[in-house]
């Protein structure tokens, strides 16, 4: 252990990472550099600096990464209409590659020998952090305390904190939180507590970002979203930066009860886990993006994207953002978005997001062909007969040979 002289720790300032900080100092006898990222979690981060200073940390990084997070991670993911297992919008998953990237960059800048994180040995985040770190710095040493120490209960953590004079709000920390939560600009997640029983309904006072659909306004909210190359660049004609777009949509969606989700998902490490999520802005973004694609993308391009999306989502969920296969898919996805420009009008009402209009200079929708009225010869309906017979040919031959379906 003596070969580890300096470690960069992903540090929130909370109980767990404060204990990890001291544990690293005591166990490895090393200097600790702390890194705290502002990803839009809505918490004051400066107290983390004071706690780190009180524990003797000399190099402290507190960074506002909201713009980079949405621009370089969230938006590219939404260009693919990405959802995991049909429902999850990957709010936690997509934040991990950015944190891994900064951990490695700070390690390089400070001459650190290792990086460390507070993810447990049961979850996906350990995989995501470490796959990203190894992809970006192959020889990096990773220290995962939850896989090394014996502090496997909250009681032991609290005893360790008290014994080592760790500056934690003991009154607050001594009361067991009913949920394990993670938040960033894309979502807030909840695990543990009553959610460990898949039959138990989530408690209403758990939700933090959204009103219940039952208590949402009786009048709908209409908004217009402007897309350029697959990304939202303006809301109601007001040009916004990427992180401002997502923050605005979170507010509008939350006020209308949009974006709640309660699922049981399959973790990469093998177990099933129940989680509840609030993703108001992302829910609106996904619905609107599919709407603008519906009029701008060629049918086969759209269908090919849809067929590849589950693999793309799985790569992100499992921690392979920095893999060559994800980057290959991203290149294809981004190329398809060159024509995804225009405006989508959506209605937010009591937990629902309804697309009520879409328009684009790149639209492939031709009203002269699609009309139910007289199309003045734009489409020859007689052509359909040969089209149908050719497509039925293999079915007719099989039936003639006696290969009837049961």
| CB-based contacts of 213, cutoff 8 Å, min separation 6 | 257, 260, 350, 351, 352
Cα angle 236, 241, 246 (rounded to 5 degrees) comes to: 70
125 in active site: yes
Helix axes 299-318, 324-336, angle to 10 degrees: 150
Q: Catalytic residue among 71, 72, 154, 180, which?
A: 180
147 in active site: no
Q: Catalytic residue among 66, 79, 96, 358, which?
A: 96
Sign, CA dihedral 365-330-185-282, equals positive
Q: How many residues does the chain have?
A: 406
363 in active site: no
212 in active site: no
Q: Catalytic residue among 16, 93, 248, 260, which?
A: 16
Residue 121 in contact with residue 146, Cβ under 8 Å?
A: yes
Q: What is the 3-state secondary structure (H, E, C) of the chain?
A: CCCCCEEEEECCCCHHHHHHHHHHHHHHCCEEEEEEEECCCCCCCHHHHHHHHHCCCCCEEEEECHHHHHHHHHHHHHHCCCCECCCECCCCHHHHHHHHHHHHHHHHHHCCCEEECCCCCCCCHHHHHHHHHHHHCCCCEEECHHHCCCCCCHHHHHHHHHHCCCCCCHHHHCCCCCCEEEECCCCEEEECHHHHCCCCCCCHHHCCCCCCHHHCCCCCEEEEEEEECCEEEEECCEECCHHHHHHHHHHHHHHCCCCEEEEEEECCCCCEEEEEEECHHHHHHHHHHHHHHHHHCCHHHHHHHHHHHHHHHHHHHHCCCCCHHHHHHHHHHHHHHHHCCEEEEEEEECCEEEEEEEECCCCCCCHHHHCCCCCCCCCCCCHHHHHHHHHHHHHHHHHHCCCCCC
Q: Catalytic residue among 12, 116, 125, 287, which?
A: 125
Question: Which active-site residues does the annotation give?
Answer: 16, 96, 125, 180
């Amino acid at each position: 252990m003596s070969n580890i002289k300096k470690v960069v720790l992903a540090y929130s300032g909370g109980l767990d990472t404060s204990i990890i900080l001291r544990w690293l100092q005591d166990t490895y006898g090393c200097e600790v550099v702390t890194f705290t990222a502002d990803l839009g979690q809505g918490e004051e981060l400066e107290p983390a600096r004071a706690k780190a200073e009180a524990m003797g940390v000399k190099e402290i990084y507190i960074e506002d990464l909201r713009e980079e997070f949405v621009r370089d991670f969230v938006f590219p993911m939404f260009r693919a209409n990405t959802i995991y297992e049909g429902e999850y919008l990957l709010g936690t998953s997509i934040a991990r590659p950015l944190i891994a990237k900064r951990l490695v960059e700070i390690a390089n800048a400070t001459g650190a020998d290792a990086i460390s994180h507070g993810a447990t040995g049961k979850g996906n985040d350990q995989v995501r952090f470490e796959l990203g770190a190894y992809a970006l710095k192959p020889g990096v040493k990773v220290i995962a305390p939850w896989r090394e120490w014996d502090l496997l209960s909250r009681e032991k953590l609290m005893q360790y904190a008290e014994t080592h004079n760790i500056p934690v709000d003991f009154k607050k920390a001594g009361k067991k939180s009913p949920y394990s939560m993670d938040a960033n600009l894309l979502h807030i997640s909840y695990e543990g507590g009553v959610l460990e029983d898949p039959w138990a309904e989530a408690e209403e006072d758990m939700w933090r970002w959204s009103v219940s659909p039952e208590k949402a306004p009786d009048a709908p909210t209409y908004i217009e979203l402007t897309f350029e190359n697959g990304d939202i660049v303006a809301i109601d004609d007001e040009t916004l930066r990427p992180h401002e777009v997502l923050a605005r949509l979170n507010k509008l969606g939350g006020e209308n009860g949009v974006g709640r989700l309660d699922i049981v998902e399959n973790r990469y490490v093998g177990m099933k886990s129940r989680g509840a999520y609030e993703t108001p802005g992302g829910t609106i973004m996904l619905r609107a993006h599919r709407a603008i694609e519906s009029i701008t993308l060629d049918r086969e391009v759209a269908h090919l994207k849809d067929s590849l999306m589950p693999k793309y989502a799985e790569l992100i969920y499992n921690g392979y953002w920095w893999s060559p296969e994800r980057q290959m898919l991203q290149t294809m996805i981004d190329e398809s978005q060159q024509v995804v420009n225009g405006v989508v009008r959506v209605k937010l009402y009591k937990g629902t997001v309804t697309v009520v209009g879409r328009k684009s200079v790149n639209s492939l929708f031709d009203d002269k062909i699609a009309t139910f009225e007289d199309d003045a010869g734009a489409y020859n309906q007689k052509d359909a007969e040969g089209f149908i017979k050719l497509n039925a040919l293999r079915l007719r031959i099989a039936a003639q040979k006696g290969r009837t379906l049961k």
